[in-house]
Amino acid sequence: MTGQTITVSATDGGEFSAYVALPKGPPGPGIIMFHEIFGVTNWIKESADMFAEQGYCVAAPEMYWRLEPNFIADHNDPEQREKGLKYRGALNHDLAIDDIASMITKLKTMPECNGKIGVVGFCLGGTLAYLSAARLEIDAAVAYYGTQIHEFLDEGKNIKCQTVFHMGKNDDHVPEELLNKIHAALIGIPNIAIYLYDAGHAFSNTHRPDYYLKEASRKAHSRTFDVFDGLR
């Protein structure tokens, strides 16, 4: 990993950490990257580094900090996985959005950020990316296989920025019934695009050989970069 960890002040008191990866060239769009249920893992840090190589100023904040600061789980450990799922259910989404707003403010102060803000998230983070698009003034959002988007479909009408969803047709966490429900509720809203892949959950996670699909991930990332490149 080539980035660094910074501290961000929360609006209601307290602090949380964020892994930051900076672009090597001129200032680029600020991208907030939301983690899966496993926290800011090495894969998230590697992904932030990879996005920074595209010329973006990337920050990956810890979203479980109120539940357990610096929480990181091993997806191969059933107990840790269960804790991650438990925290997903316990997460206060309103406070999470407040934290994201704080992260946006911090990101905009960095000279490597051009002032434009996009968000991207995976699994749990996909839901947070969707909610950011619906509740915050941002410039673009990308959600990879968000697991709770179906619980907030009534907020889709509030989305004004370009928003892209990457969904697996064989996602056991977002089965076909929910996938169809999401598609029906959101596909007619301006600036929203939904892409379906012959893949399951976590198809972009290179640390999950049981799920990772190189071609689906490549296509999804290419479409993501097309969106964020529009913020230059």
CB 197 within 8 A of CB 220: yes
Domains and CATH numbers, the chain: 4-229 (3.40.50.1820)
Count of positions (residues) in the chain: 232
The per-residue pLDDT for 198 is 97
99: number of Cβ within 10 Å = 23
Q: 3-state DSSP call for residue 72?
A: strand
- Is residue 2's pLDDT more than 90? no
Using alpha carbons, list the distances in angstroms from residue 200 to 16, 90, 95, 196.
31, 25, 30, 10
- Alpha carbon distance 160, 179 (integer Å): 22
| 144-191 pLDDT tens trace | 999 999 999 999 999 999 999 999 999 999 999 999 999 999 999 999
The per-residue pLDDT for 48 is 98
The per-residue pLDDT for 209 is 95
For residues 80-101, give the mean pLDDT: 98
165: CB partners within 8 A, 6+ apart: 126, 130, 142, 143, 146, 149, 182, 186, 192, 193, 194, 195
Mean of all residue pLDDT scores within the chain: 97
The per-residue pLDDT for 72 is 98
| 42-80 pLDDT tens trace | 999 999 999 999 999 999 999 999 999 999 999 999 999
The per-residue pLDDT for 1 is 78
